[in-house]
Chains A and B, each alone.
Chain A
Amino acid sequence: MEKLSKEKKSCGLSVLQTTSDSKLETHLNSCVKCGLCSSSCMFYMTFKEKKYIPGYKVAVVRSIYQRYNTFLGKHLPKISGARDLDEKQCEEMIDLFFGSCTMCGRCVKHCSIGVDIPFIVRKGREMLAEMDMIPKTLQSTVDAALTTGNNMGIPTEEFVDTIEWMEEELQDEMGDPNAGIFLDKENKDVFYTLNPREPKFFPLSISAMAKIFYAANESWTISSTRYDITNYGFFNGKNSEAATIARNLYNEVLRLNGKRLVLGECGHGSRATRWEGPNLIKQTYKVDTITVVELIAEYIRNGKIKLDKTKNNVPVTIHDPCNLVRNGGLLGEIRFVVKNAVSELIEMNPCGNENFCCGGGGGMLAMSEYNDRRLKIGEIKANQIKASGAKIVITPCHNCVDQLMQLNHQYKLNVSIKTIAEIVADALVFEPKNEKKSDE
């Protein structure tokens, strides 16, 4: 590692000195280092290494904070355990904060005090980001989003081609030439967003959602240039970049005068847009912002779509994306939708707010250097899936889908992985008028 210059060091330390509320001070001073959080962390449970104890990650940030900001830390560092911020420390921080934490937040719920460990981990990432120490793999994902408008760098022409192809498929399937996937339309009720994995690898999940919109007779659109819901700036710790990505999407919604921003099936993207977005761009969103899970639940409640559970008659289980459930409050909505769409739901144990991360969160999927570690920690989820006996795993997050597919292969689970839109689309019952339309 390069020598840490004074300037970089002070940039890193500034993260701990600039705080607008009491949250950082609180969580830096709350941990009692009981170590009991270890049994709630996938990394520790898998590897049994002391560096993976979540409390240790807090201790690292706190020790640096103390070294430069407290009397004891400055003058008697040994007493408080204060540490210098140097090259060696930075190397450890990169491994701890980027490579050993998916920021799933499971440890928070089970912490004896209630220390927000992922919040501190993110502060650690912010420090590293300020010192230009973001893993290159993760940064390249952010750079792609900043320069091309989507994190996979899909050219607009390619995206438009994919959408047109899916639209033709949809029209054929519905037997209705008016069925469509509407690009860049103004004044629509729904401005829909996608995870770029959909046009790149899973176009059928776009057509599944298009079918639902069609069944609900929704007025909707997708932007051809700013459709990406993901925001890896939330994971790389560079707030300015996260803000730019969030602002780009928000401005596009305003440009097309969308009435409602509907967040596609992406856990971190939904979180980064709905919960962090307004704070990143420092303004309250003028448009209603909801996840697609909530929208589908609304359709079911209002009778805008009809579902036949018997169309999905194999046992299914739900993988709860951490950013949507434990950190997003969608526990009830996800179950409401799934129970309306399938005959048999078997819950994993534990599930809901207690769920284990799939292992691909926190930007782990974007950092290939941690692939082995990511697949190893995923064994916990794989075992949960096996134990459930389900044949289909449903999850409203394409990031989780990707990781679960890899786990499916690695641990020979023999299950299908589906998104909520896909399982709901499979259960759709079209009203006679639609059938009539197709007859015509």
Chain B
Amino acid sequence: MMAWYFWMALAALLVCALQFIVKLIRLVKRGAPKDLSTPKGKVSAGVLYSATVAMMPQNKESAYLHLPTYVAGILYHIGTFLSLLLFVWIFVAFAIGIYTPNDTIAIYPEYLRIGHIVAACILFVAAGSGISVLIKRLINKELRFFSSFDDYFSNFITTAMQLATAIFLLYPQTIIWYCVVMTLAFLWMPVGKTKHALYFFAARYHLGFFYGRRGVWPPAKIH
């Protein structure tokens, strides 16, 4: 029997997933632009390029001109995906009895300890990157100029999610805090700018559609 805090986090995950599903259905229903012009290139090739080569750091000034921020961003996102995967794993592990909730202390087998330590280390690095991104937003007057509460809170809650996961992996007695943070993160994710988790993919698709159709992507070789 799982404790209340776990049900709470699961319910939040469900709400989050449902909201993303609704957004996804709306995006799919609205679909790609109904373009009546005669194509010059292939949409499929453009979308593939958009999702792969165009994303490479050597092809983006936002990456190669800002390497520290780019690396921090990549690590941060690795941490986010790892946190989400670990939440699913932790839930499954509890459900099938690998982890045993004992009042407020989660008990897990010794053989998982090394895995927990490795994952926690990755998450600490990721959270450190998240904190650096947050500090940059706080001290850079240009970023502050067009940032709202959402920008700070989205950064904060995502970093908190990674930290809470890392701490839980090392100190299972923090499970209640872990579930509370995950609950907040799940509730915020589809509301705040964290929803780019979905729209990012749609944006890459639209770029691939636009540039692919016009024969811009994949680019012709000029040298």
Interface residues of A (CB under 8 A from B): 19-23, 25-27, 29-40, 50-51, 53, 55-56, 59, 63, 72, 78-81, 108-116, 274-279, 282-285, 288-289, 325-329, 331-332, 335, 347, 351-353
Q: Point out the residue from A23, A288, A289, A326 that lies within 8 Å of B33, measured CB to CB.
A: A23
CB pair B216–A327 under 8 Å, yes or no, is yes
Q: Point out the residue from A40, A55, A63 that lies within 8 Å of B61, measured CB to CB.
A: A40
**Segment at the A interface, from B10-18, B169-177, B202-210:** B202-210
CB pair B222–A53 under 8 Å, yes or no, is no
Is B100's beta carbon under 8 Å from chain A? no
Contacts of A21 in B (CB 8 A): 30-34
Return the chain B residue nearest A49 by Cβ: B142
Contact A114 B204, CB 8 Å, known A25-B30, A282-B36 = yes
Q: Point out the residue from A26, A36, A114 that lies within 8 Å of B66, measured CB to CB.
A: A36
What are 11 residue pairs bridging A and B, where the CB atoms are less than 8 Å apart in the complex?
A: A19-B30, A20-B30, A25-B30, A38-B142, A56-B145, A78-B148, A116-B207, A275-B214, A329-B40, A331-B216, A332-B221
Q: Top 8 nearest A-B pairs by Cβ distance?
A: A81-B148, A332-B220, A329-B215, A36-B62, A278-B36, A22-B30, A110-B61, A26-B202
Smallest distance from the beta carbon of A149 to chain B beta carbons, Å? 23
Contact A27 B219, CB 8 Å, known A114-B50, A279-B36, A283-B36 = no
CB pair B148–A80 under 8 Å, yes or no, is yes
CB pair A113–B214 under 8 Å, yes or no, is no
Contacts of B60 in A (CB 8 A): 109-112
Contacts of B153 in A (CB 8 A): 79
Contacts of A35 in B (CB 8 A): 140, 142-143, 146
Contacts of B61 in A (CB 8 A): 36, 39-40, 110
CB pair B203–A26 under 8 Å, yes or no, is yes
CB pair A284–B141 under 8 Å, yes or no, is no
- Contacts of B130-163 to chain A: CB distance below 8 A: 140-143, 145-151, 153
Question: Digit string of B181-223 for contact with A (CB within 8 Å is 1, else 0)?
Answer: 0000000000111011001101111110011001110011111
Contacts of A31 in B (CB 8 A): 193, 196
Return the chain A residue nearest B61 by Cβ: A110
Smallest distance from the beta carbon of A339 to chain B beta carbons, Å? 10
Q: Point out the residue from A78, A275, A282 that lies within 8 Å of B149, measured CB to CB.
A: A78
CB pair A289–B38 under 8 Å, yes or no, is yes
Is B52's beta carbon under 8 Å from chain A? no
Q: Point out the residue from A25, A51, A110, A325 that lies within 8 Å of B27, measured CB to CB.
A: A25
Contacts of B222 in A (CB 8 A): 331-332, 335, 347, 351-352
Return the chain B residue nearest A326 by Cβ: B216
Smallest distance from the beta carbon of B118 to chain A beta carbons, Å? 28
The CA-CA distance from A286 to B203 in the complex, in Å, is: 31
Smallest distance from the beta carbon of B51 to chain A beta carbons, Å? 9
Return the chain A residue nearest B46 by Cβ: A329
Return the chain A residue nearest B194 by Cβ: A32
Contacts of B220 in A (CB 8 A): 331-332, 335
Smallest distance from the beta carbon of A226 to chain B beta carbons, Å? 20
CB pair A33–B151 under 8 Å, yes or no, is yes
The CA-CA distance from A20 to B199 in the complex, in Å, is: 17
Is B37's beta carbon under 8 Å from chain A? yes
Contacts of B27 in A (CB 8 A): 22, 25-26
The CA-CA distance from A282 to B33 in the complex, in Å, is: 12
Return the chain B residue nearest A71 by Cβ: B191
Beyond the given pairs A329-B211, A352-B219, 13 more chain A to chain B contacts, judged by CB atoms under 8 angstroms and listed by A's residue number, are A29-B199, A30-B203, A33-B146, A35-B142, A39-B65, A50-B145, A78-B148, A81-B151, A112-B62, A112-B70, A115-B203, A278-B38, A284-B38
CB pair B150–A39 under 8 Å, yes or no, is no
Contacts of A108 in B (CB 8 A): 207
CB pair B214–A33 under 8 Å, yes or no, is no
Contacts of B70 in A (CB 8 A): 112
Contacts of B148 in A (CB 8 A): 63, 78-81
CB pair B41–A80 under 8 Å, yes or no, is no
Contacts of A25 in B (CB 8 A): 26-27, 30, 199
Q: Point out the residue from B69, B149, B196 that lies within 8 Å of A29, measured CB to CB.
A: B196
Is B63's beta carbon under 8 Å from chain A? yes
CB pair A50–B141 under 8 Å, yes or no, is yes
CB pair B150–A34 under 8 Å, yes or no, is no
Is B101's beta carbon under 8 Å from chain A? no
Return the chain B residue nearest A48 by Cβ: B142
Contacts of B202 in A (CB 8 A): 22, 26, 30
Contacts of B210 in A (CB 8 A): 116
Contacts of B33 in A (CB 8 A): 20-21, 23, 279
- Contacts of B109-124 to chain A: CB distance below 8 A: none
CB pair A72–B37 under 8 Å, yes or no, is no
Is B73's beta carbon under 8 Å from chain A? yes
Contacts of A80 in B (CB 8 A): 148-150, 192
The CA-CA distance from A112 to B55 in the complex, in Å, is: 8
CB pair B62–A37 under 8 Å, yes or no, is yes
The CA-CA distance from A78 to B153 in the complex, in Å, is: 12
Contacts of B149 in A (CB 8 A): 78-81
CB pair B203–A27 under 8 Å, yes or no, is yes
Smallest distance from the beta carbon of A328 to chain B beta carbons, Å? 6
Is B103's beta carbon under 8 Å from chain A? no
- Contacts of B57-91 to chain A: CB distance below 8 A: 59-63, 65-66, 69-70, 73
CB pair A22–B203 under 8 Å, yes or no, is no
Contacts of A39 in B (CB 8 A): 61-62, 65-66
Contacts of B192 in A (CB 8 A): 80
The CA-CA distance from A346 to B204 in the complex, in Å, is: 33
Smallest distance from the beta carbon of A84 to chain B beta carbons, Å? 14
The CA-CA distance from A37 to B59 in the complex, in Å, is: 13
Return the chain B residue nearest A289 by Cβ: B38
CB pair B73–A112 under 8 Å, yes or no, is yes
Return the chain A residue nearest B140 by Cβ: A35
Q: Point out the residue from B32, B191, B203, B219 that lies within 8 Å of A113, measured CB to CB.
A: B203
Contact A22 B31, CB 8 Å, known A36-B69, A110-B62 = yes
Contact A329 B30, CB 8 Å, known A23-B206, A112-B63, A116-B203 = no
